Amino acid sequence: MKKATKKEIEALKSTLLERYSEAVTELSYTNAFELVIAVSLSAQCTDKRVNLITPALFKAFPTPKDLANADIEEVKRLIQSCSFFNNKAINLIAMAKRVVEVYGGEIPLDEKELITLGGVGQKTAHVVLIEYTQANLMAVDTHVFRVSHRLGLSDDVSATATEATLVKKFKTNLHQLHQGLVLFGRYICTAKNPKCDSECFLNAFCKSKDGFKPR
């Protein structure tokens, strides 16, 4: 597969920024605590599904203290339509307990601190910081991975390696580029039947229409 040239990378960057300059997450939340929960639930689950689940969950457990003291069966019941809900329920309660016990009930907006919370890995931490603080970070989900490979931006086999490559190639405006790549992959450069001829505004940069997935 051909790689994007430096000139193409600059053109891709400017085009994505022009199109998605105001892009934000499609997850619904009102504070950092709710955002961490929503992003954690979104792993292997669509944002649409998460947004159906979270209103009742946020109402039942509006603060970290409430969730820290929650009955795990009640949490499971509220999120059971989400994939891996058993593990996610355990992690959500563990996250809330640490937020209460270590951080005084406030979500720490620092990558190293965030990844000490239950169920929060590097990708989740980055998505939270990108959305909540507009941090100059990149996060690679299945959409970003697929789009990056189709556009010749990366040929890495893992999401982590792809993230490092994108950071190196784009350098700045990473939070906007992340949001843009997610939306582009979700609605235009889809895994099946990408809208190449009808809607794609990056068709000139496309190197492949294969359905790439991180290993």
Catalytic residues: 123, 141
Of all residues in the chain, what percent are helix, strand and coil, respectively (each to 5)? Answer: 60, 0, 40
Residue with tokens 């789009």: 147
Residues 6+ apart with CB under 8 A from 142: 185, 191, 213, 214
State which amino acid sits at residue 94: A
Residues 6+ apart with CB under 8 A from 213: 142, 145, 146
